[in-house]
Amino acid sequence: MKLSALVLLGCLVTADAVAQDIHRASFQCADDTVIPVTGAGAAPDVLVLMKGFNSRFPVSLTANLIQRAAEGRLQSAEKNSIKNGFFMTAEDDDGNVVMARVWNRSDGHRILGINFHVMADVLYDERVCFYDYDPAKETLTSYRDNPVSAFRPQFSTSTGMIKTYYSLEKNGVVVMNETVDGLLFGMTSEYAWNGSGFAFRGAGFSLTGKAYETVRGISPSEYAFYDIDGDGNSELLFRDRNHAAAVIVAVTPNAGFDEKKWNQPEVILSRTAEKDEFGLPEFAFYEKGAGLIGECGSGCRSFSYVALDRGRIASRAEGYMLTPEELERLGGPENTDAGSCRISWRDGKSGELSYTEVQDYVQKLGKTVKADIKWYPLTSLEKP
C-alpha cells in the first residue's frame, strides 16, 4: 500500500473515531455514574469539572479545548465564557458540538450540565446529562432527580418525529421541541434555576393560522395537554386568567377538514369569556370526542360536538335543540326543526340532523369522561 493511501486511511479512521466518541459519550453519560475529580477543591470552574468528566467519557472536541486552555491558547471570548460558567467547543466537520454549564447550589455543591449537539442521520440530535459535584468527596454523581432529566415531549405527531433541543442558560434551562414531519407547531419549556435545582416555570407555543388567532383572542395565561380520545395524540388546551375563555386545539398533521392545511393545528372547540343571561357554555368530554354545551333560552340548548379519530377531527355536529322537558311538553322529537342541527364530515359531506340523530351521534361518542386536566403557566404564544 502506498504511503498516501496509508495516510488517507489513517485520516478516515481518525475522523470516524472523532465522530463516534461524541455519540458514545452522549448515550453512556445518562447512566448512573460517579466520577472522581481529584484536586478540584471547593469551587472548581466549568473547565475543571469538564476535565474530570472527559476523563470518564472522552470526547476529542472536549479534549482539544481543555488542551488549548492548558497551553494558554484560548481566545478572549472563550476565556470570558468559561469565567461565566459556560463551556463550548468548536464544531467539527459534521457540526458536532459539546456545551456545558455550571450552576452553584446554596449548599456548596455544584450542578454540571452537559449538552451534546450531534449529527444523527441527516438531522441533529441533542442529549443532556447532569451531575452533582460534591466538594467534600470531590466527585461528580449523576443528578437525575431534576425535571430536565425527566423531560419528555407531551405531544406526538403522525411519524413520532419530534426533535428536542436544550439551551443551558445562566438562570436555568430552556427545552425546545420542534416537529420535523411538516406540522407547523412548536413548544418551548422553561426550567428556572432557584439556587438548589431546576423548577418548571411554564411553556410557550408557536401556532399558525386560525388556531393562533383563536387562542390569541382569549388572552391565554395557562395551557394543558389532554388526550381526549385516548389514542396517544394529546390535544392542547388554553384558557384565560379567569378560567372563563378556553380553546381546544388538535396538533396532529391533517387535524382539520381542509386538505390544503394538512400541516396546521386545528381548533376543535372554543368558548369566549362573554356571559349572557344563561351563563357560560361548558365543555363536556367523551371517550371519542368533546362537546361545548350551553343554553340558548328557556327550554333550548346550544351545542357543538366533535368526534376525533387519531388526533384528527372526524366530524362536527352543531346547532341547538330543545331540552327533554320542552320536547315532552310539545309532544315529542317529531316537533323539532331538523334545520337547527347540522353535521360536517371529513370527506366534505354535510347535512341536517334530527333530534333523534343528534342523540345517536352523542351516544357514539361514548361515555362521558371526567377529565383529569393539569394546567401550567403559559409563557409565550407566537407564530413559527
For residue range 92-104, list pLDDT tens digits in order: 999 999 999 999 9
Residue 5, pLDDT > 60, answer: no
**pLDDT for the residue 239:** 97
Q: Considering only residues 339 and 98, tell me which one the structure prediction assigns the higher pLDDT.
A: 98
Confidence of residue 8 (pLDDT cuts 50, 70, 90): very low
Averaged confidence pLDDT in the chain: 88
pLDDT at 278: 61
CB atoms closer than 10 angstroms to residue 62 = 22
Question: E-strand spans in 227-299?
Answer: 235-240, 246-250, 266-271, 282-286, 289-297
Secondary structure of residue 376 in the 3-state scheme: strand
What pLDDT sits at residue 123? 81
pLDDT for position 279: 66
pLDDT at 1 over 90: no
Check if the beta carbon of residue 168 is closer than 8 Å to that of residue 154.
Answer: no
Integer Cα distance of 343 and 324 in angstroms: 21
Sheet containing 34-36: which strands, arranged edge to edge?
34-36, 139-142, 123-134, 110-120, 97-104, 86-88
pLDDT band at 338 (very low <50, low <70, confident <90, very high): low
Q: For residue 333, what pLDDT is reported?
A: 62
Confidence band for 158, pLDDT divided at 50, 70 and 90: low
More confident residue, 266 or 184: 266
Mean pLDDT of 110-131: 92
Residue with cell 476565556: 79
- Give the three-state DSSP class for 11: helix
Q: Is the pLDDT of residue 13 over 60?
A: no
Looking at the whole model, is its pTM more than 0.85?
A: yes
DSSP class of residue 91? P
> By mean pLDDT, which of 19-23, 90-94, 183-187, 355-359 is the weakest?
19-23
Residue 122: its pLDDT value, please?
73
Report the phi/psi class of residue 279: left, alpha or beta, with left for phi > 0 and alpha for psi in -120 to 50.
left
| Closest to 206 in 3D by CA, of 181, 227, 177, 169 | 177
Q: Look at 34 and 333; give whichever has higher pLDDT.
A: 34
Q: Among 60-69, 96-105, 116-125, which is the least confidently predicted range?
A: 116-125
- The pLDDT confidence band at residue 162, using thresholds 50, 70 and 90, is confident
**97-104 and 110-120 as β-strands: parallel, antiparallel, unpaired?**
antiparallel
Question: pLDDT band at residue 339, thresholds of 50, 70 and 90?
Answer: low
Average pLDDT over residues 174-179: 93
Dihedral over Cα of 267, 288, 260, 181: its sign: positive
The whole-number average pLDDT for the span 49-64 is: 97
DSSP β-bridge partners for residue 250: 266
> Please, are residues 100 and 114 in contact by the beta-carbon 8 Å criterion?
yes
End-to-end CA distance of the chain: 55
Q: What is the dihedral of CA 27, 30, 34, 40, to 10 degrees?
A: 80
φ, ψ for residue 59, nearest 5 deg = -130, 130
Distances (CA, A) of 303 to 181, 293, 325: 34, 4, 17
How many Å apart are CA 146 and CA 149, to the nearest integer? 6
Q: How far is CA 231 from CA 170, 234, 322, in A?
A: 39, 8, 33
User: What is the DSSP code (8-state) at residue 275?
Assistant: -
Q: Looking at the predicted structure, is the pLDDT value of residue 3 above 50?
A: no
